[in-house]
Structure 1
Amino acid sequence: MDFSAASVARRRFLAFGMPVALALTLAGAPLEASAAPVVYLDHGHPVRERVEDLLARMSLDDKIGQMVQPERRSIEPADVARFRIGSVLSSGGSAPSPNNARSWADMYDGYQRAALGTPLRVPMMYGVDAVHGHNNVVGATIFPHNIGLGATRDPELVRRIGAATAEEMTGTGADWNFAPCVCVVRDDRWGRTYESFGEVPGLPSAMTTVIEGLQGRSLGDGPTSVLATAKHFVGDGGTDGGDDQGDMRVPEAELRAVHLPPFREAVRRGVGSVMASYSSWNGVKLHRNRYLITEVLKRELGFTGFVVSDYNGIDQIDGEPGFTRAEVAAAVNAGIDMVMVAQRWREFIDDLRAAVQGGEVPMSRIDDANRRILAQKFRLGLFERPLADRRYLATVGGAAHRALARRAVAASQVVLKNDDDVLPLDRDDEKIFVAGRSADDIGRQSGGWTITWQGAPGATTPGTTILEGIRQVAGKGRTVTYAEDGAGVDRSYDVAIAVVGERPYAEYKGDRTDDLRLSGTDLKTIDRLRAADIPVVVVLVSGRPLDVTSELRHWDGFVASWLPGTEGAGVADVLFGDTAPSGRLPVSWPRSAAQEPINAGDGKTPLFPLGAGQPYEDG
């Protein structure tokens, strides 16, 4: 390498106050002198030139290492260096101990220093499912899930949420977000309904502004730019019966009209990666569908980023447990560039090497995958700024982000019934009774993908519960009484609020084939409030519409609150009228589960149509 003053000045790009060459040296990679500058380490060269220079220096093992992504619990930093691993991920609930922002930054830097200690010093990326805020980290700001954001109809708000999430990720080092989910949900029985912005393609398409929030105007635009992922390609929201990882049985015309548009818009916005779906299209697993991945996504839509598999997704190609060399070859040849292999990543490396050496996977495909992956690393600035930017640690769960989340919660509330203008709550109401299992429970109001994969009830992370928000907004002049089961309510109260809904869940375990009704416990609580002969407002905390048809006539008010996250005061802001309700349904609300699937334009009559939502009369 050329160490002349001019060359050093040309390559100088500050990485936390030091030139990149010094940063790499301190990370453990000795610099070796050569007759000419190393092009790929010089940020003054175009990305294309840097990629080609680095690719020419890489062995087959170097290249295969870039194409595999192990789960953090199955790999040590020393393995990252030994096997030239290009990326590591945290699956849901996989976190360092203690689970806090600083521990995440320490963990990230440990892996990164190992990657930088290899001869070619190729930095790694660290991927997380930050699907509603940096939700794996205790103390992070948890925003409403996508279904609630779809109810806001506010793409600019969603962009700002993406930017806030990127800041919190940057402080912890995580530089790759497996979000947004831009699926079009067509059956509310699906356990990932809440990960969708809505049932018509225009809603997820409009909300792809979150990509610009995460990445910036372009990837690498600013110090908090993180790689975004449009998922799951394609049609996972349209599987038969709402079966997670099931089969979407639709003609290509419907796939293109309903499910493809949000991906087209994501590509237009420059999304850096796309994740393949577990599901199938007319019996063919997406992880092996070369037509959709290579011909449609990469060639027709012009996607220049890289495609990543879902977690152990190649295992399902042949329908048998685990993966085979044939499945590895099928996935890579279909156009998957990086493969999540949680535990058996060494076996994957051996299988892919053997498939290349045996002629089953052409070297041109390996090189294409590496070009796509390396280009994004260069664009992110990882070669210049490889370590966690701890200047942003203070943003994790910070006041500004929580205030943004509170506004998002308020904007997502959908008022669906308001008899006798029971809402907003009257300022003269001196006694308010609150009941329900979801009233004072951060875990329930945040839902799945919160600290753990499936989420959990209880005080899982700091925040403001809906009950606490009601007390805060009500002020000291009012009496707010709470009993989870409604015990103690009587006619002396002016109004009762029942905060009820679903227990947290995520994909797979969240599929429902029952009647979608409220639980018996919740119905008993509401009935106890009704027996007091006072107005009753039901606030539903759920990841999808539930069957409330037979009960609705007994309620004075009904609000769809979705899964608001950690800032429950946003719900109270709407209940008390401090914020006027503006949310509108992002999905059709069925009269019963028997109507599923139900979507706008299908001729079925829902309980509430897509777009329903009442303002307050004086608003």
Structure 2
Amino acid sequence: MKAWRAGRVLFGLVLLLPALALGQAAASDPASGDEGAVVESLLARMTLEEKLGQLTQSRGRGSDTGPRVPEGGEAQIRAGQIGSFLGVYGADYSRQMQQVAVEESRLGIPLLFAHDVIHGFRTTFPVPLAEAASFDLEAVENAARIAAVEATAHGLHWTFAPMVDIARDPRWGRIVEGAGEDPYLGSRMAEARVRGFQGTDLTAPDTLLATAKHFVAYGGAEGGRDYNTVDVSERTLHEVYLPPFKAAVAAGVQSIMPAFNEVAGVPMHAHRPLIETLLREQWGFDGVLVSDYNAVQELMQHGVAATRTDAAILGLEAGVDIDMVSGIYLEDVAEAVRDGRLDEALVDASVRRVLRAKYRLGLFDDPYRYSDPAREAAMTLTPAHREAARELARKSFVLLKNDGDTLPLSKRLRTVAVIGPLADDRRQMLGNWAAAGRPEDAVTPLDGIRAALGPDVRVLHAQGAEIDGDDVSGLDEAVRIARQADAVILMLGEDQEMSAEANNRTTLDLPDVQEELAQAVQATGKPVVAVLFGGRPLSVNWLHDNVPSILMAWFPGVEAGNALADVLFGDHAPSGKLPVTFPRNVGQVPIHYNHKNTGRPPDAEDKYTSKYLDVHWTPLYPFGHGLTYTRFRYDDLRVKTPRIGRGEAVDVEVTVTNAGGRAGDEVVQLYLRDDVASFTRPVKELRGFQRVTLQPGESRTLRFRLEPEAMALLDADLRPVVEPGTFTVFAGGSSAETSETTFEVVAD
């Protein structure tokens, strides 16, 4: 602490000298003032170049000793030309760079260190789409909290998460980073992750600035092709894509990232109406807008800017505060300000927001609070963190099919064969965007199964095939060991590089070589369980028709193998539900449960209705689907007040019974439909969910409250209104299997 106090004295003097030179009376210590006073005092002393430095984010570089600032980075810090770094962390190193900023630059403004902490830092949790399958807001918030604790211990202040894009096209690789297809679930997950990252007090040393991304409609890319054009109606924009962002803002998110795409012909990094008018003026967001990677400069490729300077002007006029990595603000804006093409007040507005973020994190009070080597060592990959990752992985697994109660498998089997390209691959278990996660930390399925079964059960293993390609040389070995086993567990699915940014697919099928492997193993006649890994819905029709039990495991994270063994052998029952529809084939895309009815809803007896010639119109597995090792029965769905006024809430109750022989968790889902409205409404919309644990034979009555906002639609001016009429309420274990009742909203 003595060293910090000495540094703080110098820090104060560095700020005081320019103030004295300017004849200003501001306090020498920025921590002594309130937010506005500190920000305005600094802003008044800054040169234009120093202001643009605060709006510039540079990317780190890899080295043998960890992520470091780029060559020449320290000189830029001293010159006040950098406000933040992407991908630079480490408690000792971040302290060193912060010291350069605070003690060796003219104004001593602390740096921000940012990184893509998406689903854990060193302790890797299931990928976000898998976390959403848990329908467990508390567990998801805790995962983000643990990620924040670990990341901040390594010197980070800021994460570019959560991704809150709604995705209805599983060809899009980034579907893995979000919460799936539903705006309600997406909104609740956005709130949970923001709370987890940012905590309850941003000045605490273990809180990260969260970033809701990508604003907006990025998940609507044409053809499911990343970065592609988005063309949606204004109504769909407001009903489907904007709600999770509004929820994140209401939860206090401090940073938002615009999307690469355009909306209505305007690239989002130049979209002043959506950023300044909607986001800031109407929603009251007062945090930082940070560009996506190089995206301000890419306004030139969009065709709305002829030069880098034009692109930078458009970005700042739209309200994009920080340029990520291109250097376009630092290098191309000063001349535009001086020759009158850009009002310096717009630069000042962005600088204020950046300085406010640093103030809110407490960096002006103690710039080194995030750079503590002792905390770094103590709070990384702890047993408690690993246990939380294991628990969330178990909750994320979705049992798609379980004919004949094939699962759980008995631990008394004599021989088990574990076959497939994902059975013993540590890197695949982490998924994409694994931050500081290390493959050597991961428990593979093979390791987890061997540990769970112990030395008395013979566990055989064969890779059988690569994840992709045409090499079938391993099939014979796979068949040979399958024939020796009492049961076979097939580990199939995607490579982690088949999902995430720029990893888009035109097929949702398993690679051919894996389907050949599955067919060869199934032909042995042995009991087979298929475990699927991936970051998107998969069209696994052959498995569905031929394999009795299928478990969707996604990319489960660092505790993958242990969590899988827990579920496969019955120590825990699966309880995940699909946050996104699984189509029968890619030709059904886009397919989602909350579709419109149309004037000609599908009817098998009527040719001239909305359906296909070659495949049923229904999905392979619907939104909300997920089995477990017991059965649940839904009874007595009722509305306590069948007639209400337009401003009143309605209470709904349903009784759920565990009608099977094992304890289990159920995610009880509540859906709503406005039966007749002035604008067409979806056939049903998720409006609530609760996880409940029930013992065999146990019943519980669950209560949901539907507030007026849950019944509202957007009128012609896109304002929420509740219209008189009947509403249908649905409750059940998936979007496709529900009980229903009605209530009526009466005119005032």
Return the TM-score normalized by structure 1.
Answer: 0.89
Equivalent position of 1:464 in the other structure: 443
Query: Using a 3 Å threshold, how does the CA distance of structure 1 residues 64 and 481 change in structure 2: closer, same or farther?
Result: same
The structure with the largest alpha-carbon Rg is 2
Structure 1 residue 481 corresponds to structure 2 residue 460: yes
Query: Using a 3 Å threshold, how does the CA distance of structure 1 residues 579 and 39 change in structure 2: closer, same or farther?
Result: farther
Q: 1:610 aligns with which of 614, 619, 623?
A: 623
Deviations 1:242-280 (A, max 9, x none): 121112211111101101111111111111100010111
Q: 1:169 aligns with which of 146, 151, 156?
A: 151
Deviations 1:447-487 (A, max 9, x none): 221359xx9xxx73422112111122223332211111125
- Preserved CA contact (<8 Å) 2:479 2:524: no
Equivalent position of 1:207 in the other structure: 189
Equivalent position of 2:55 in the other structure: 67
Give matches, 1:101-500, under 5 Å.
104-116=90-102, 117-134=104-121, 140-208=122-190, 209-220=192-203, 222-319=204-301, 324-342=308-326, 345=327, 348-387=329-368, 388-393=371-376, 394-450=378-434, 460-485=439-464, 486-500=478-492
Once residues 30 and 40 of structure 1 are traced to their aligned partners in structure 2, the CA distance between those partners, rounded to angstroms, is 8
Structure 1 residue 554 corresponds to structure 2 residue 546: yes
Cα RMSD of the aligned pairs, angstroms, is 2.3
Deviations 1:179-223 (A, max 9, x none): 110111110000101001120111121112111111112422x22
Once residues 32 and 348 of structure 1 are traced to their aligned partners in structure 2, the CA distance between those partners, rounded to angstroms, is 28
Once residues 15 and 247 of structure 2 are traced to their aligned partners in structure 1, the CA distance between those partners, rounded to angstroms, is 43
Moved more, 607-616 or 74-83: 74-83
Equivalent position of 2:516 in the other structure: 524
User: By how many angstroms is 1:40 displaced?
Assistant: 7.1
Equivalent position of 1:46 in the other structure: 34
User: By how many angstroms is 1:531 displaced?
Assistant: 2.3
**Which letter does structure 2 place at the counterpart of 1:592?**
N
Equivalent position of 1:81 in the other structure: 78
Query: Using a 3 Å threshold, how does the CA distance of structure 1 residues 320 and 206 change in structure 2: closer, same or farther?
Result: closer
Q: What secondary structure, in the 3-state scheme, does the structure 1 residue paired with 2:582 have?
A: coil
**Which letter does structure 2 place at the counterpart of 1:106?**
D
Query: Using a 3 Å threshold, how does the CA distance of structure 1 residues 40 and 411 change in structure 2: closer, same or farther?
Result: farther
Q: What secondary structure, in the 3-state scheme, does the structure 1 residue paired with 2:423 have?
A: coil
Deviations 1:323-342 (A, max 9, x none): 61100100110110111024
Q: Which residues of structure 1 form unaligned runs of 5+? A: 1-16, 96-102, 135-139
**Which letter does structure 2 place at the counterpart of 1:278?**
F
User: By how many angstroms is 1:503 displaced?
Assistant: 1.2
Once residues 369 and 414 of structure 1 are traced to their aligned partners in structure 2, the CA distance between those partners, rounded to angstroms, is 44
Q: What secondary structure, in the 3-state scheme, does the structure 1 residue paired with 2:550 have?
A: strand
Deviations 1:371-397 (A, max 9, x none): 111111011011222221223212222
Query: Using a 3 Å threshold, how does the CA distance of structure 1 residues 29 and 85 change in structure 2: closer, same or farther?
Result: farther
Deviations 1:482-524 (A, max 9, x none): 11112532444221111111112254531112x2211122122
Q: 1:593 aligns with which of 583, 586, 591?
A: 586
Return the TM-score normalized by structure 2.
Answer: 0.74
User: By how many angstroms is 1:545 displaced?
Assistant: 1.0
- Preserved CA contact (<8 Å) 1:173 1:389: yes
- Preserved CA contact (<8 Å) 2:16 2:27: no
Once residues 28 and 408 of structure 2 are traced to their aligned partners in structure 1, the CA distance between those partners, rounded to angstroms, is 61
Once residues 483 and 592 of structure 2 are traced to their aligned partners in structure 1, the CA distance between those partners, rounded to angstroms, is 41
User: By how many angstroms is 1:600 displaced?
Assistant: 1.1
Once residues 487 and 440 of structure 1 are traced to their aligned partners in structure 2, the CA distance between those partners, rounded to angstroms, is 18
- Preserved CA contact (<8 Å) 1:40 1:49: no
- Preserved CA contact (<8 Å) 2:176 2:536: yes
Once residues 282 and 579 of structure 1 are traced to their aligned partners in structure 2, the CA distance between those partners, rounded to angstroms, is 48
User: By how many angstroms is 1:38 displaced?
Assistant: 4.9
- Preserved CA contact (<8 Å) 1:247 1:282: no
Q: What secondary structure, in the 3-state scheme, does the structure 2 residue paired with 1:70 have?
A: strand
Once residues 390 and 374 of structure 2 are traced to their aligned partners in structure 1, the CA distance between those partners, rounded to angstroms, is 24
**Which letter does structure 2 place at the counterpart of 1:213?**
G
**Which letter does structure 2 place at the counterpart of 1:408?**
L
**Which letter does structure 1 place at the counterpart of 2:570?**
G
Once residues 425 and 136 of structure 2 are traced to their aligned partners in structure 1, the CA distance between those partners, rounded to angstroms, is 27
- Preserved CA contact (<8 Å) 2:130 2:396: yes
- Preserved CA contact (<8 Å) 1:190 1:512: yes
- Preserved CA contact (<8 Å) 2:482 2:488: no
Structure 1 residue 56 corresponds to structure 2 residue 44: yes
Q: What secondary structure, in the 3-state scheme, does the structure 2 residue paired with 1:489 have?
A: helix
**Which letter does structure 2 place at the counterpart of 1:176?**
W
**Which letter does structure 2 place at the counterpart of 1:257?**
E
**Which letter does structure 1 place at the counterpart of 2:349?**
D
User: By how many angstroms is 1:76 displaced?
Assistant: 1.9
Query: Using a 3 Å threshold, how does the CA distance of structure 1 residues 24 and 416 change in structure 2: closer, same or farther?
Result: same
Q: What secondary structure, in the 3-state scheme, does the structure 1 residue paired with 2:214 have?
A: strand
User: By how many angstroms is 1:27 displaced?
Assistant: 8.2
Equivalent position of 1:574 in the other structure: 567
Q: What secondary structure, in the 3-state scheme, does the structure 2 residue paired with 1:43 have?
A: helix
Q: 2:495 aligns with which of 498, 503, 526?
A: 503
Query: Using a 3 Å threshold, how does the CA distance of structure 1 residues 320 and 290 change in structure 2: closer, same or farther?
Result: closer
Task: Flag the structure with more relative contact order, 1 or 2, with Cα contacts below 8 A and sequence separation at least 6.
Answer: 1
- Preserved CA contact (<8 Å) 1:443 1:450: no
Once residues 547 and 333 of structure 1 are traced to their aligned partners in structure 2, the CA distance between those partners, rounded to angstroms, is 45
User: By how many angstroms is 1:286 displaced?
Assistant: 0.6
Once residues 41 and 25 of structure 1 are traced to their aligned partners in structure 2, the CA distance between those partners, rounded to angstroms, is 8
User: By how many angstroms is 1:42 displaced?
Assistant: 4.2
User: By how many angstroms is 1:424 displaced?
Assistant: 0.9
Q: What secondary structure, in the 3-state scheme, does the structure 1 residue paired with 2:296 have?
A: helix
User: By how many angstroms is 1:144 displaced?
Assistant: 0.7
User: By how many angstroms is 1:128 displaced?
Assistant: 0.3
Moved more, 173-182 or 563-572: 563-572
Query: Using a 3 Å threshold, how does the CA distance of structure 1 residues 507 and 352 change in structure 2: closer, same or farther?
Result: farther
- Preserved CA contact (<8 Å) 2:397 2:554: yes
**Which letter does structure 1 place at the counterpart of 2:445?**
I
Equivalent position of 2:734 in the other structure: none
User: By how many angstroms is 1:44 displaced?
Assistant: 4.1
User: By how many angstroms is 1:551 displaced?
Assistant: 3.1
User: By how many angstroms is 1:589 displaced?
Assistant: 0.6
**Which letter does structure 1 place at the counterpart of 2:549?**
G
Once residues 90 and 479 of structure 2 are traced to their aligned partners in structure 1, the CA distance between those partners, rounded to angstroms, is 43
- Preserved CA contact (<8 Å) 2:56 2:81: no
Q: What secondary structure, in the 3-state scheme, does the structure 2 residue paired with 1:538 have?
A: strand
**Which letter does structure 1 place at the counterpart of 2:531?**
V
- Preserved CA contact (<8 Å) 2:77 2:105: no
**Which letter does structure 2 place at the counterpart of 1:504?**
Q
Equivalent position of 1:7 in the other structure: none
Q: Percent identity?
A: 36
Q: What secondary structure, in the 3-state scheme, does the structure 2 residue paired with 1:127 have?
A: strand
Deviations 1:139-194 (A, max 9, x none): x1111111001100111111111111111111210111011101111100001010
Q: Which residues of structure 2 form unaligned runs of 5+? A: 62-69, 465-477, 598-616, 631-661, 664-748
Once residues 140 and 189 of structure 2 are traced to their aligned partners in structure 1, the CA distance between those partners, rounded to angstroms, is 7
